[in-house]
C-alpha cells in the first residue's frame, strides 16, 4: 500500500506565549499543497519489526529519528501484534524548509498503518498520536485548510479556497533551526487574529497577515528576505515565509506568466492550488 504525503504552507504564524511545558502557544492557518513525497509499506514475516529504505533527496541525521520509523514504533507500543513491515520513503519535499514534509510523512504513516492493519483508530486518536511525533503532525491527519491554535493541534476547518491562484515556492537550501527561531522570538498577542484576516480579500493580506519568524530569520539571512521582495516585484498578491523557514511562497493570479532567475541551487516550484 502506498500513500503520497503532501506539504503545507502557513498563511500567517503568530507566536503568542511560552508555556510552562516549554512549548509555545501559537496561531496559524495551515493550507495543504500538492507537492508530495511517497511512502510504501509492505507486510513481512521478518524478525525485525521494521526495515526502512529511502530514495530521492538525501535525509540527514540519525535514521532512528525519522518520523516514519517513530510513527511505526509509537503504534507498535500500543498494538504489539502489529506485523513487521518493509517501509520505503521517496523524498521529494525539501527538508528543514518550513513545508512540514517530515511531519507529513510521519502522520501519513500513522494513517496508512491504521488503514492497512484495521487498527480502528478514530481521527482524534490519530491526532493524539501525531502530536507525540511533532507539533505540525496533527494537521496532516486532517489535511484540510485549518485555523490552528495551542501547539497547532487544536484545529478548526475553514473553507478558504485558493484554486483561483497559483503558488511559487522558492527554497534557498538554507536550513533554519526551529529551536533557534523560537529562541529569537518575543511572543506577543496580535491585535487582530489570523482567523479574521484570512477571511478578508487576499489583497489585504500583505499589510496584515504576518509570520513572526520572518523578523529574526530575515535579520540573519538577508538572501531569504530578498526572495520575498522579488516575489512582490514579480506581481505576487501575497508573499511570506512558511513556518520557521526558509521557504518563501508567493500567491499569483493563475493566468500570470512568471519570469524569474533564482540561483541554480535553489529549489523552485510552481504549484497549481
Q: Domain spans of the chain? A: 2-157, 165-272
Confidence of residue 248 (pLDDT cuts 50, 70, 90): very high
Among the options 37, 105, 136, 212, which is catalytic? 136
Helix 67-78 and helix 101-116, axial crossing angle in degrees, nearest 10: 40
Among the options 8, 91, 111, 228, which is catalytic? 8
| 2-157: CATH, from 2.40.160.20, 3.10.560.10, 3.20.20.60, 3.30.230.10 | 3.30.230.10
Q: What is the pTM of this model?
A: 0.93
- Whether 21 is a known active-site residue: answer no
pLDDT, tens digit, 9 for 90 and up, residues 29-56: 999 999 999 999 999 998 888 999 999 9
Q: Where are the alpha helices (DSSP H) in the chain?
A: 67-78, 101-116, 123-133, 137-142, 178-183, 194-197, 205-208, 214-220, 222-233
Asked if 43 contacts 84 with a C-beta cutoff of 8 angstroms, the reply is: yes
Residue 49 corresponds to which cell in the numbers above? 519489526
Residue 273 corresponds to which cell in the numbers above? 492550488
pLDDT, tens digit, 9 for 90 and up, residues 199-223: 999 999 999 999 999 999 999 999 9
Class of 165-272 in CATH = alpha beta
Q: Does position 60 have pLDDT exceeding 80, yes or no? A: no
Which backbone phi and psi does 102 adopt, to 5 degrees?
-65, -40
pLDDT, tens digit, 9 for 90 and up, residues 88-112: 999 999 988 999 999 999 999 999 9
- Whether 136 is a known active-site residue: answer yes
Q: Does position 155 have pLDDT exceeding 80, yes or no? A: yes
Amino acid at each position: 500500500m502506498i500513500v503520497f504525503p503532501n506539504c503545507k504552507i502557513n498563511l500567517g504564524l503568530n507566536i503568542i506565549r511560552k508555556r510552562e511545558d516549554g512549548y509555545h502557544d501559537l496561531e496559524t492557518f495551515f493550507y495543504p499543497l500538492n507537492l508530495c513525497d511517497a511512502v510504501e509499506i509492505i507486510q513481512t514475516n521478518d524478525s525485525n519489526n521494521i526495515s526502512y529504505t529511502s530514495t530521492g533527496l538525501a535525509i540527514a541525521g540519525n535514521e532512528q529519528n525519522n518520523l516514519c520509523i517513530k510513527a511505526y514504533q509509537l503504534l507498535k507500543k500500543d498494538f504489539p501484534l502489529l506485523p513487521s513491515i518493509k517501509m520505503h520513503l521517496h523524498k521529494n519535499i525539501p527538508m528543514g524548509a518550513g513545508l512540514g514534509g517530515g511531519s507529513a510523512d510521519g502522520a501519513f504513516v500513522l494513517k496508512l498503518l491504521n488503514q492497512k492493519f484495521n487498527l480502528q483508530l478514530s481521527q482524534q486518536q490519530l491526532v493524539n498520536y501525531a502530536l507525540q511525533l511533532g507539533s505540525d503532525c496533527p494537521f496532516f491527519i486532517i489535511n484540510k485548510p485549518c485555523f490552528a491554535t495551542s501547539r497547532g493541534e487544536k484545529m478548526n476547518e475553514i473553507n478558504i479556497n485558493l484554486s483561483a491562484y497559483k503558488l511559487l515556492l522558492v527554497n534557498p537550501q538554507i536550513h533554519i533551526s526551529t529551536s533557534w527561531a523560537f529562541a529569537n522570538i518575543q511572543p506577543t498577542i496580535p491585535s487582530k487574529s489570523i482567523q479574521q484576516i484570512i477571511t478578508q480579500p487576499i489583497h489585504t493580506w500583505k499589510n496584515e497577515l504576518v509570520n513572526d519568524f520572518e523578523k529574526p530569520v530575515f535579520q540573519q539571512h538577508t538572501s531569504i528576505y530578498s526572495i520575498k521582495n522579488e516575489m512582490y516585484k514579480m506581481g505576487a498578491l501575497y508573499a511570506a515565509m512558511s513556518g520557521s523557514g526558509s521557504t518563501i511562497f508567493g500567491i499569483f493570479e493563475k493566468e500570470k506568466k512568471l519570469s524569474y532567475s533564482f540561483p541554480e541551487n535553489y529549489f523552485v516550484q510552481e504549484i497549481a492550488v
